[in-house]
Homo-oligomer: A and B are copies of this chain.
Amino acid sequence: MAQRLDGRRAAERVQEALRRRVDQLVSRGIVPKLVMLVSEADEISLGHVRRKARFARGAGLVAEIRTFRPSEGPGALRSAIGRLNEDDEVDAILVQLPLPAGWDEGDMLSHLRPDKDVDGLHPQNLGRIAFGRPRVWPCTARGIGELLELHEIGVRGKVACVIGRSPLVGWPIAQWFMAHGATVIQCHRQTPSIATWTKQADIVVSAAGAPGLVGAEEVRPGAVVIDVGITYTEDGPRGDVDPGAAARASWITPVPGGVGPMTVAMVAQNAVDLCAMRRGG
């Protein structure tokens, strides 16, 4: 029976370590500040940024939430980003996705100052990944990395099957595994038989948002299973992986309580890293 990769407990450990770093910065007069921009009309997104703010404040950062009205159009959000780019006290800016329907997310993210881009999603930051030296890894990828590291699960030389290739989640995760020495099989909607590949992987990462996509028998005995998907069904939140896979896996993330809390934690950790880089901490 697999051991749980408990994201909540890991996030608490991250928060403690972070608090010590923030204390040191504050003692030198540097107060790391994170500002998050979110649509006032998107309840789910508001919930996400509140969790991110709560975690960041718990680690000693200043964390602000600023809402925008979709009716004011993308120009107003671009202006808000521009002001935060210029504000020397702001270390980290997060634009909570998804943006209102029809808005161009890639374009919006390209207006962030790359050295304040806490999610690491500015095109230039994504590009740095190809050269193996991002400023900060996108939060989900980094969260998975920290979760593995805290449990001393190595990646180098392993085979990682990553399902999903969204620019925000699946793509950076695949890049993270590659940069850390794994052979990566990247599957997606056009992959005829995903199970062919999950069965051969030491580490299965599913970021498709499709409940039950990976069957209990479709991971190999001893595999590490990271379930990034979370879908809200009538029976509550469900991951991509059949929970029965726990019978074969060596490690598995619960849903919820696995990757989610670590993603939240990495927003604060990235913000502190960006603060230290920009202000010489």
What 0/1 readout, one digit per residue, does chain A (174-200) give for beta carbons within 8 Å of chain B? 000010011111111011100001000
Q: Which residue of B lies closest to A180 (CB)?
A: B190
Contact code string A102-130 (vs B, CB < 8 Å = 1, else 0): 00001000100000000000111111111
Assess the A171–B124 pair: CB atoms within 8 A.
no
Residue contact A106 to B126, C-beta cutoff 8 Å: no
Task: Tell me the nearest residue of chain B to A184, going by C-beta.
Answer: B186
Complex Cα–Cα for A192 and B186 (A): 18
Residue A131 interfacial (CB < 8 Å) = yes
Contact indicator B124/A106 (Cβ below 8 Å): no
Q: Which residue of B lies closest to A183 (CB)?
A: B191
Determine if A83 is an interface residue (Cβ-Cβ < 8 Å): no
Residues of B within 8 A of A133 (CB): 106
Query: Nearest residue in B to A105 (C-beta to C-beta)?
Result: B131
B residues in contact with A128, CB < 8 Å? 106, 123, 127
Q: Which of B127, B132, B182, B187 contacts A122 (CB 8 A)?
A: B127
In whole angstroms, how far apart are the Cα atoms of A82 and B178 in the complex?
34
A197 closest partner in B (C-beta)? B183
Which one of A124, A127, A186, A190 has the greatest number of beta carbons of chain B within 10 Å? Answer: A127
Q: How far is the CB of A110 from chain B (nearest CB, A)?
A: 8
The smallest C-beta distance from A257 to any residue of chain B, in angstroms, reads 28
> A131 touching B167 by the CB < 8 A rule?
yes
CA of A178 to CA of B122 in the docked complex: distance in angstroms? 20
Q: Chain B's nearest CB lies how many Å from the CB of A136?
A: 14
At the interface, yes or no: A157 with Cβ under 8 Å from chain B? yes
A165 at the interface (CB under 8 A from B): yes
Q: Which of B167, B181, B183, B190 is the one whose CB lies under 8 Å from A185?
A: B183
- Name the contact of A186 in the complex, choosing from B110, B123, B124, B186 (C-beta under 8 A): B186
- Please give 5 more A-B residue pairs, beta carbons under 8 A apart, in addition to A123-B128, A125-B127, A178-B186: A123-B124, A126-B131, A132-B167, A181-B190, A183-B190
| Chain A positions near chain B (C-beta within 8 angstroms) | 106, 110, 122-133, 156-157, 165, 167, 171-172, 178, 181-188, 190-192, 197
Question: What are 7 pairs between A and B in contact, CB < 8 Å?
Answer: A106-B131, A106-B133, A123-B123, A123-B124, A124-B127, A126-B129, A185-B186
